[in-house]
Amino acid sequence: MARHFLKDDDLTAAEQEAVIELAIELKKSPYLKRPFEGPKTVAVIFDKTSTRTRVSFAVGISDLGGAPLIMDSQNSQLGAKESVADTARVLDRQVAQIIWRTYAQSGLEEMAANSKVPVINALSDEYHPCQLLADLMTIREHKGQLKGLKLAYVGDGNNMANSYIIAGALAGLHVSIASPKGYEPDPIVLNRGKELALQSGGSVTFGNSPSEAVADADVIATDTWVSMGMEAEKEKRIKDFAGFTIDADLLALAKADAIVLHCLPAYREFEISAEVLDGKQAVIWDQAENRLHAQKALMVFLAESDN
C-alpha cells in the first residue's frame, strides 16, 4: 500500500519534522537524492491554474532524476469523460507518483484509493499541504525553531487556513486565526487542530478580531480573499473582508521581529498592503522558493516509503 499526502496530518509530527530537515539539506545539496533516476516519470495534473506549484514540481522532479509529465484536465479525459478511479488505474502502471491540483478533497481520496503509487495533494478546496511544508521550512530558517512560536493567520477560513491549523498544530505552533463572520474555518478542522495541539504542546484559537490574533505574533500569514473557484463572490467578499488587510498598523501589534508569509499570488491593498508585502519583514520569496525544496523532500520520503 502506497503512502499518500492528501492533507497535512497524513504525516506524523516526527515525519513532518524529518521532511523539513531533509528539505533544508536538499536546499544545500540539490542532487543528493535521486529516487526517480532512470528517469521515472511523475504525473502532475492541474484542474486549476498555477505558477509556483507547476514550476516547483517540474524542477523538483528533474532534480530527483525523473521526468515530469505536466497534464491539464482540460486536455485529458479526466473529469468529464473518464472517472478518477479509471484514471488512477491507467496512470499508476506508468508513473512513479501522481500529483494533483483539484477542487474537492473527495476526488483526491478516490485517486489515492485506486492508485498503487503515492498521490500528493497540490491544492484542493480543503487543504494546501505542500504549501505548509514550505511555510514551516521558511519559519524554521528565519526563526531557528517551530515549537512554541505564535503564528497568526488573518483572512478567509479557506484551504490555507485549514492547512495552517493542521500543520501548525502538528508542529507545535500556537496558531491564532481571525476571519470575518461567515468565513470561519471548518469546525471539524478546528477540532482536529486542537486535538493535535494537545500532543505537540501547541494550540489553536479562533476569533473575529485581526488585532487580537496578531498580538505578539512571531509569524503573520494571510491569503487571497477570493480563492480559485470563488470568483463569482468577489465583490461581496471584498466588502465582507473590510478591516482584514495586513497593513503596517496591524503588523506593529506583532513582535518587532515578526515575519510575514503569503503563499502568493497576492492582491496588494486587499488582503495585504503593498508596504507590508514588499517590506523588510516579508519573507515571501524564500517561501516561494522553498516549495521546491520541501516538495522534493516529500517526494523522496514517499518514494522511500513505497519501496
Catalytic-residue membership of 97: no
Give the binding range for ligand NVA (CB under 6 A) out of 100-108, 153-161, 172-180, 280-288.
Answer: 153-161
Among positions 120, 133, 260, 263, the unique one binding ligand CP when judged by CB under 6 A = 263
Of residues 95, 108, 119, 160, which one binds ligand NVA by CB under 6 A?
160
Is 291 marked active-site? yes
Q: Which does 223 bind (CB under 5 to 8 A by kind): ligand NVA, ligand CP, none?
A: ligand NVA
When the beta carbons of 160 and 167 are compared against ligand NVA, the nearer one is: 160
1 CB burial (10 A radius; 0-12, 13-18, 19+): exposed
Catalytic residue, chosen from 4, 52, 101, 192, is 101
- x/- mask, ligand CP, residues 264-303, rule CB under 6 A, reads x---------------------------------------
Residue nearest ligand NVA, Cβ-based: 227
Active site residue 34: no
Sign of CA dihedral 39, 4, 12, 142: positive
User: Applying CB under 6 A, does 223 fall inside the site for ligand NVA?
Assistant: yes
Catalytic choice (287, 291, 293, 295): 291
* Chosen from ligand CP, ligand NVA, none, partner binding at 287 (C-beta under 5 to 8 Å by type): none
Site string for ligand CP, 12-51 (x = CB under 6 A): --------------------------------------xx
70 lies in the site for ligand CP, by CB under 6 A:
no
For residue 55, state whether it binds ligand NVA (rule: CB under 6 A).
no
Please answer whether residues 134 and 291 qualify as being in contact, where contact means their C-beta atoms are separated by less than 8 angstroms: yes
Report d(CA 194, CA 36) in Å as an integer: 37
223 is catalytic: yes
C-alpha 76/C-alpha 70 separation (Å) is: 11
The yes-or-no answer on residue 101 being catalytic is yes
Which of 10, 16, 47, 128 is catalytic? The answer is 128
Asked if 18 interacts with ligand NVA (CB under 6 A), we say no
Q: In the annotation, is 263 catalytic?
A: yes
Residues that bind ligand CP (CB under 6 A): 50-53, 123, 131, 263-264
Residues that bind ligand NVA (CB under 6 A): 123, 158-160, 223-224, 227-228, 263
The set of catalytic residues is 101, 128, 131, 223, 263, 291
